[in-house]
Structure 1
Amino acid sequence: MNEMLFWVEASPEAGIGHLIRCIALAQAARLKGVQCLFLLNENARKIALTQHDWEFPIIAIKDSDDTAQITKLILTSPPDVLVVDGYTLPVTVLTDIRQSIKSIVVLDDGELRLTPYADVVINGASTENDSTYRQQRNNVYCCTGSKYRLLRQNFLAIDIKPVALRHGIVICFGGSDPAALTIPLLKALDKTATQVPVRVITGAANPDHKKIKNLCSKLRFPVQHIHQCQDMAQAWVDAKLAISAAGGSQFELGVCNTPSILVKVAENQHSATQVAQAQGWCRAVGKDIDINELVAMALALYSDEKTLTEMQACSQGKYDALGSERAIDAIVKVFSASDNDKN
């Protein structure tokens, strides 16, 4: 297996989680000598180039809906493996190219739209759709469940700190904050007259980052705003408490043993978030929670170091950052079997 092509979406509407986990997979592949390229539209290209750990060639496309252009680009020089990740990528492209690509990998969150074309499905959040994946394509290889959470390489080198040596609350609602929770949360915190230090992180696709920066300059509590943070591993490790969107970020928080309040902003986050809450290291709430209730929960937790220490202990040994490496090993195995069959 010499080359992988990643066809991924990222935008203010879709967020950047698809792109981030594909970067994690590409980093693991590159360490095994595989060349990785990305097929990106303009929105995704701009977001990719803001990432400090970006080091992959880009094949630019004008529009993700231009199926003729995308099909032509893929078939002009077919990769050994095509990786697909996105909720709006047109399925007709996979129909047209399926017979020309040795292995197709689909990253799925339970959407099940692209998985009928997959040789390998990656879903690090859950195994509950395995039977459906196999009904859709009977020889599919399922990289599902906790062993296949895709985290970038910098999460392999973290030094875990005990709660007593951590500082402040970190607020981050992912790459785009689709529920627009950051500004109301900061305003509600300010009304309490708290002096708890806060670090608020906005992602590359957040359309309100300038408004958030301006608001932070007017708040009465200690606050640092970081836009496009380039080391989330260190940010999570330093946090005494995190208020975060659920989804991919919760796996990062689990690896960092960071006590957290996870806010579910999408229905497909429900299952994995319930598992995390049952483990004891986080509290899970919905995006429609009263913002003042969320603030009260956060400040009560932050002031209770005994509970935070107990929460941190609950995450120990339950998460690691090796999912990307395991997934690449599985992809190589499937590709090699396919190659042998065709020879």
Structure 2
Amino acid sequence: MKTVQAYKKENGKWKYISEKNTLKNPLVLVFGNRYLLENDEVIEDIRAEFPYEHLVFGSTSGEIAGTNVLDKSVTVTAIEFEKSSFVIKRANILDYNKDAAELGKILYDEMPKDNLKHLFVLSEGSFVNGSSLIAGLEDDLYKNVCITGGMCGDDARFEKTLASYKQNPKEGEVILMGFYGDTLDISFASVGGWQPFGPERLITKSNGNVLYEIDGQPALDLYKKYLGDKAVQLPQASLLYPLNVTIPGKEKPVVRTILNIDNDKQSMILAGDAPEKSHVQLMMATVDAIAEGASKAALYAMHNRKSMPQLALLISCVGRKLVMNQRVEEEIEQVKEMVGDNTTITGFYSYGEMAPFVNTTSCELHNQTMTLTLISE
């Protein structure tokens, strides 16, 4: 595997983290600020600097390049696979009446199955139901194939997110990347570091990822009472106080971030499903706990690997970035300590992360986690 990595701040020049080499048919991951990805001149500049075919774009809530956490920038990581290969498929949720499960099924059906080792998802993050998307992808999934990935971000604005494959970035896109080859060594992990607090309550009315009632009370009204003065800052304030949801029949709880609110219906739109009869609690975290969570994620991802990773794809939640603030790079440094100095690190801050729990293979939608996908040939 060969990689070339560079980033560009708003109105700045390209800065290369690695040597500027020409690669053969690479996968090019472009993560950037939404405003920059909407700028045609910026996109033309990216295409001129990286004149390759397989460009995948995704908007972010912060870009990761090496141990740098950047804002108002574009990061590019070009990856040449020397012993293995990749296939990329795309679809737009707006063409499926926002039915993420159906979109997921069709995307996976289009993916060649022979020698498929892993799937990585880059999804629109504003209105796609991540849980439903995963359910569709896994509907007929081969047993030995796992899914990781993330949902695009838009800083803490929650206005719209962008993604694309080959085309210029646009709304509604879901990108599925398949990795193929016997030499691939791919591992992953997802850990948070947040702690539940306060009384455990019962979800009494919901529909998919829309939460209407908790303990028979309007969900948004109850949540606002907990937030107090911070309620006027919704939905951004919810990133600091996500929900811990224990779904019936599931062994482990999942964390849910609130993507938007509906004051008229007193409801909250979450990044993933929160079924009725689930138990729910508020959560909070400290900087040290979040950094420790990143370290644990890297430790779990490195466990039982056959080789050192050459590439680390990091998807971390925007809520973690807001809590850590000026210390945000500490969680990236924790990962680097585990994966080694020779591993190319890239990724972004997201509206949702996708990965199985530790020691499981079924993918889950997470919020407020550090999720790693480690790849080597």
Scaled by the length of structure 2, the TM-score of the pair is 0.26
Structure with bigger RCO (C-alpha 8 Å, 6+ apart): 2
Higher helix share: 1
Structure showing greater Rg:
1
TM-score (normalizing by structure 1): 0.28
Q: Which has the higher strand share?
A: 2
